[in-house]
Amino acid sequence: MDLVVEKFHAEPVMTFMAERPLLARCALVGVFGILVHHLVFIKNEWHMQGPRIIKTVVAAYAVLALLEARKTLSVAAFGHAGLIVGSFTFSLLFSIAAYRLFAHRTRHFPGPRLAGLTKLWHMYQCRNGQNHLVLERMRREYGDFVRTGPNEITVFHPNGLALLDGPGSKTSKSVWYDFLLPNVGVTTIRDRGWHDQRRRLWIKGFSNSAMQKYQEHIEAHVKDMDAIIAGAKGSPVPISTYIYWFAFDIMGLFAFSRSFDMLHSERWHYSIRNLRKAMTLLGPFSSVPWAAQIGFWLLKGYWVVHDWHTMISWCANQMQLRVDEPDSHDVAQGIIADSRKRGTLKEDQEQLVGDAIVAIVAGSDTVAPTLVFAIYQLALNPDKAETLYQEVKGVSIKDTATLKKLPYLNAVIMETLRLHPAVPTGGNRDTPPEGMMIDGTFIPGNTTIVAPRYVLGRLESCFVRPNEWIPERFDTQPELVKDTRSFLPFAQGRYTCLGKDVAMIEMWTVITVLITKYRFDFPAGQREKYIQSVEGKMRDQFTATPGDLALVFTKRENVA
């Protein structure tokens, strides 16, 4: 790109252009636009270069306008420069459009015509943050393999997830994972070797002693949440808010050995409020990373982009505070110790900040929605709540070995993850250069593949009555599961969820305490309201964000 800038700024080239008739110059730059597409932009990745490209075009216009002004001494010079730059831009975009529609290697796949032309169409469809529903509609209209972008195929086949990350998979993480750049967290690293090295450092944060400390934190915070619920004395409780406070408080301790204290203060921490507002960007922009980069550049101090940068700055500050503190039992311990050992704390700042963001978002913004949906479904299905109560009553939340073996408790969690996955549509991968086969369908090389868990978990070919919440399918009625390949809630292989054990302890503990101590139901006459809120207003912002949920909690007779 710097070479392109230099060409635009080169005086001999501009002088030559200024001496040609206007029509000839427009034709010449038009040809140049086509050449730039086929010799430059058609190769490599350009999703991070949007701001630089815009600056280059603006600089070219400015130089041409000045040269024209020297020759004509008229305001028409600016119009001439605009025509020349416009001719280049039009030819470039026309060439890109023609190639994508008529010559691209994915052109034979079915899908919306505009989706094959530009991802901006997909971004518009996701403007309300419900990409999971957009993709479900595409599956019903176009089938198992759908072209959802110029170089993107969404796979609705049961084996899609397993082939992306399973044993022997040669796929790689797509450009989506550059969203945090220049910060890089363990889950956003695209290079396999580097990812594996960083993952080994994270694993140190899951030692037996660390897990014991996490469990103590979880138990203490569940007691805080229980106290708030008990204090409501039968009034509607905004349980979704309390669950999010719980999850983020735990992740603050998990990442930095510092709670956000939201359950204690009973109010949102400003940084988490900013984070949640910033995450709304991922609703429409997840599908178009290059547009997000332009937005980050143009709107840095405005709108939710400001919240995004504020969130990143806060994570950077928290990580710096953690660097300055003695060692504690948290995930930061291993990664900080490694940087300190190598004497690269300053150089590793972007990795440390990236890991901080990943820990907070991946840890809390996945557990929280799963818990909200689980409690919501138990409120919708009191008979199943009673079955669960009969299983967990009398079991101590400290006895995780027993909780781990309780079939119905774990079936409740698994069924919730199937019907309401914490990451509904994310996890894009790129095919290897030689391409890959999925159920007899060849996906060309270097093509982005999407395998949306929200849709795969509801396939009629995999699950009986797929849109119903039936925990028994993972317990006493396995015949309700026809194909297990489409259900991988914690991923697999090298990308298996690092925090799975912590997440399960959180969910076991919260669900067990609430179901043991309370019966809960929707406020009188508001059942449909909260169905529309929790499910109807759910947003796909990389992680699932259910709508608000309030329930009435009534203490069981045998609870003091």
Ordered DSSP codes for 86-108: HHHHHHHHHHHHHHHHHT-TTTT
Which of 9-18, 80-89, 123-132 has the weakest average pLDDT? 9-18
Q: Which CATH superfamily is domain 192-555 in?
A: Cytochrome P450 (1.10.630.10)
Q: Identify the three-state secondary structure at position 482.
A: coil
β 448-450/152-155 pair status = parallel
Q: What are the residue ranges of helices labelled H in 43-191?
A: 50-72, 76-102, 113-117, 119-125, 131-142, 160-165
Which residues have C-beta within 8 Å of that of residue 193, sequence separation ≥ 6? none
Q: What pLDDT band is residue 560 in, cutting at 50, 70 and 90?
A: low
Side chain identity at residue 354, one-letter code: G
Whole-number pLDDT of residue 10: 46
Report the number of secondary-structure helices (H) and strands (E) in the chain: 25, 12
Tokens of 189: 């690293």
Residue 417 has pLDDT above 90, yes or no: yes
Phi, psi of 68 (to 5 degrees): -65, -40
Whole-number pLDDT of residue 382: 97
Task: Report the candidate in 383, 358, 182 with the shortest Cα–Cα distance to residue 275.
Answer: 358
**Angle ∠(319,323,329) on CA atoms, nearest 5:** 90
Average pLDDT, the chain: 91
Tokens of 316: 């950077």
Looking at residues 112-120, what average pLDDT do you find? 97
Residue 69 has pLDDT above 70, yes or no: yes
Question: How far, in Å, CA of 154 to CA of 110, rounded?
Answer: 11
Residue 328 has pLDDT above 80, yes or no: no
Residue 6 has pLDDT above 60, yes or no: no
Residues contributing to the annotated binding site: 497
Question: How far, in Å, CA of 82 to CA of 60, rounded?
Answer: 10
Place of tokens 């000839």: 24
Residue 9 has pLDDT above 60, yes or no: no
DSSP secondary structure letters along 501-558: HHHHHHHHHHHHHHHHHEEEEPPTT-HHHHHIIIIIT-EEESEEE-----EEEEE-TT
Q: Which residues, listed in sequence order, are joined to residue 154 by a DSSP beta bridge?
A: 146, 450
Q: What's the CA dihedral at 38, 39, 45, 50 to 10 degrees? A: -80
Which of 74-78, 251-255, 272-276 has the weakest average pLDDT? 74-78
Residue 355 has pLDDT above 50, yes or no: yes
Please return the burial class of 169, using the count of CB atoms within 10 Å of its CB with bins 0-12, 13-18 and 19+.
Answer: middle
Question: How far, in Å, CA of 307 to CA of 301, rounded?
Answer: 8
Whole-number pLDDT of residue 73: 66
Question: How far, in Å, CA of 371 to CA of 552, rounded?
Answer: 16
Question: How far, in Å, CA of 276 to CA of 519, rounded?
Answer: 30
pTM value? 0.91
Question: Residue 521 to residues 11, 155, 239, 332, 524: CA-CA distances in angstroms?
Answer: 75, 38, 11, 40, 9
Whole-number pLDDT of residue 86: 94
Looking at residues 177-189, what average pLDDT do you find? 91
Residues contributing to the annotated binding site for heme: 497
